[in-house]
Amino acid sequence: MDDKYPIISILGIRFNLANCLSVLVSAILVFALVFFLSRKIMLKPTKRQNILEWIIDFTNGIVKSAMPGEEGKQFYLFAFVMFMFVFISNQLGLMLQVKVQGVSWLKSPTANPIITMSLAMIVLVIAHYFSVERLGFGNYMKSYIKPVGFFLPINIIEQFTNFLTLSLRLYGNIFAGEVLLSLLVKMAFSHGPATMLVTAPIQMVWQGFSVFIGAIQAYVFVTLSMVYISEKVEMAD
Amino acid sequence: MFSNLIVGASEAYLGDSLFVLVVFIILVALVGKFAFGPVSKMMQDRSDKITNDLDNAAQSREDAAKLAAQRATELKNSKSEAVEIVNTAKQNGEKQREGMVTLAQEEVQTLKQNAKKDIEQSRLDALNSARDDVAQLSIEIASKLIKKELSVTDQKSLINSYIEGLDKQNEIR
């Protein structure tokens, strides 16, 4: 897309303000939602607590399916926050897109490859860190020449492909959704009320589908994250 | 700050990555402290409580079954005991009744015998005194009438025959 973005440079590091603002808004929304749901925690759960516990059970289930043992427990919180953050990020652009004089200020943060790559990088750093912590550095290095020595280049390349597929799958899905949404908006305003009437139902259908895609992609992202982490953390026999 | 503002096409910027990293770490910390930690702890507590309750329930049920069995045997025992008590009481009552009846019978017997004896005695006494009186009288009468002295033994035999005659007359009457 030919969108323009506000960029600032601090200490030689350049920041895309639209991305930063979107990430910040998503994070605040996630925290506000979770904080709202977790008031008055009781042994017999109330309605809000039930919702939160259902989500936590869901993400715990994702972690357990990849790491059924005791080692999975330390990733419960990470999986929960990652799921909530990606999910809310995916939905943010569907509800709210701010453009001032052609400059984007707010949209889905996950519709930008740099954000999804950052998230994927967090996942991979965690995977490698816990691999070294759990297996020791020697075993960690040995895991690159398993099952046999000439798998070394494949294993190394696999780390990059993991990174790219994890980040670009999410980016592609959300970005495509937003592109189509903005195209539909342009179409709606192209020929007056007639096109608006025609486009409105299509827009609604596509927004609904995007909500669905956003949820699925959040689930897929967390599931694959946990699979990659478990591959690194668990001893390959 | 906004003097640095450049408006350009979308590119990959390092600052964004750093910003995402920082925000994500803060978010993990806050969510863990305010929501995930307490809720997870509560979920763990709940599962522990349910496990404990289930164990306790099994234990209680066992205890209850034991108590019920104990009560049943005790009840059976008490029934047989009660029957025994009633039987003993019946026997005792029977014995007592028999004893009292025998005692009463004996008493009645004794009383009867005493009464008979008394009657016999008084009859004999009355007869004897009557004999003596009659003997004396008849002696006096006879001595007055016939002025003839009779020996006492003769008179007695005479009187006895007479009284026997009276007795017979009495019986006939």
Decide: A17 and A7 in contact? Cβ < 8 Å.
yes
Terminal alpha carbon distance of chain B: 167
Q: How many CA atoms lie within 13 A of A178 on its CB side?
A: 26
CA distance A60 to A50: 15
Residue reference for tokens 């994702």:
A62
pLDDT tens digits, one per residue of A101-114: 767 777 888 888 88
Q: Kindly state the helix (H) or strand (E) to which residue A10 belongs, with its residue range.
A: strand A5-10
Can you tell me which residue has the tokens 């309750």?
B53
Q: Is residue B9 part of a domain?
A: no
pLDDT reading at B166 higher than 70: yes
pLDDT for A12: 66
What backbone phi and psi angles, to 5 degrees, belong to A41? -80, 130
pLDDT at residue B92 above 90?
yes
Distance CA A131, CA A76 (A): 17
Hey, are the CB atoms on B13 and A15 less than 8 Å from each other?
A: yes
Q: The tokens of A210 are what?
A: 């995007």
pLDDT of A116-139, one tens digit each?
888 888 998 988 898 888 888 888
Residue B24 domain flag: yes
**Considering only CB atoms, which chain A residues are within 8 Å of B30?**
31
ipTM of this complex: 0.82
For A187, how many CA atoms within 13 A lie in the half-sphere containing its CB? Answer: 14
CB A96 within 8 A of CB A29: no
The b-or-e profile of A47-81 (16+ CB within 10 A means b, else e) is eebeebbebbeebbebbbebbeeeebeebbbbbbb
Is residue B8 one of the residues assigned to a domain?
no
Q: Is residue B168 part of a domain?
A: yes
Return the structure tokens found at A40: 């008055």
- How many cross-chain Cβ pairs, A to B, lie less than 8 Å apart? 138
The helix (run of H) or strand (run of E) holding residue A75 is none
pLDDT of res. B171: 72
Instruction: Give residue-wise pLDDT tens across range B35-57.
Output: 788 888 888 888 898 999 999 99
Pick the residue with more confidence: A109 or B1?
A109
- CB pair distance less than 8 Å for A7 and B45: no
User: B114: pLDDT confidence band, cut at 50, 70 and 90?
Assistant: very high
| Assigned domain for B105 exists | yes
Give a yes or no: residue B135 inside a domain: yes
**Neighbouring residues of B17: CB distance < 8 A, sequence distance ≥ 6:** A114, A117, A118, A121
Band of pLDDT at residue B120, cut at 50, 70 and 90: very high
pLDDT tens per residue across span A204-231: 888 888 889 889 999 999 999 888 888 8
- Number of Cβ within 10 Å of residue B104's Cβ equals 10
Distance CA B142, CA B151 (A): 12
Instruction: Say what the alpha-carbon torsion angle B57, B62, B66, B72 is, to the nearest 10 degrees.
Output: 70
Separation in Å, CA of B75 to nearest CA in chain A: 43
Q: According to the model, what pLDDT value does residue B5 have?
A: 47
Look up tokens 């990733």; give the residue.
A75
Q: Six-digit token pair at B106? A: 């004996």
Chain B interface, mutation test: which of A1, A11, A13, A175, most B Cβ atoms within 10 Å?
A13
Domain count, chain B: 1
* β-strand pairing of A5-10 with B6-8: antiparallel
- Asked if residue B72 is part of any domain, the answer here is yes
In a domain, B26, yes or no: yes
Question: What is residue B12's predicted lDDT score, i.e. its pLDDT?
Answer: 57
Rounded Cα distance between B93 and B56, Å, is 54
User: B21: domain range?
Assistant: 16-172
Please state, in angstroms and rounded to a whole number, the distance separating the CA atoms of residues A115 and A174: 12
Which residues lie closer than 8 Å to A85 by C-beta, 6 or more apart? Answer: A26, A27, A30, A119, B24, B27
> Can you give the pLDDT at residue B147?
64
CB atoms within 10 A of CB A89: 30
Query: Nearest CA of chain A to the CA of B46: how many Å?
Result: 6
Contact state of B31 with A3 under an 8 Å Cβ cutoff: no
Residues of B with CB under 8 A from a CB of A: 1-2, 4-21, 23-24, 26-28, 30-32, 34-40, 42-43, 45-46, 49
- Residue B11's pLDDT is 56
pLDDT tens over chain A, length 237 residues: 456 677 776 776 777 777 788 888 888 888 888 888 888 777 777 888 888 888 888 988 888 888 887 777 888 888 888 898 999 888 888 877 777 776 777 788 888 888 888 888 899 898 889 888 888 888 888 777 777 778 888 888 888 898 888 888 888 888 888 888 888 888 888 777 888 888 888 888 888 888 898 899 999 999 998 888 888 887 654
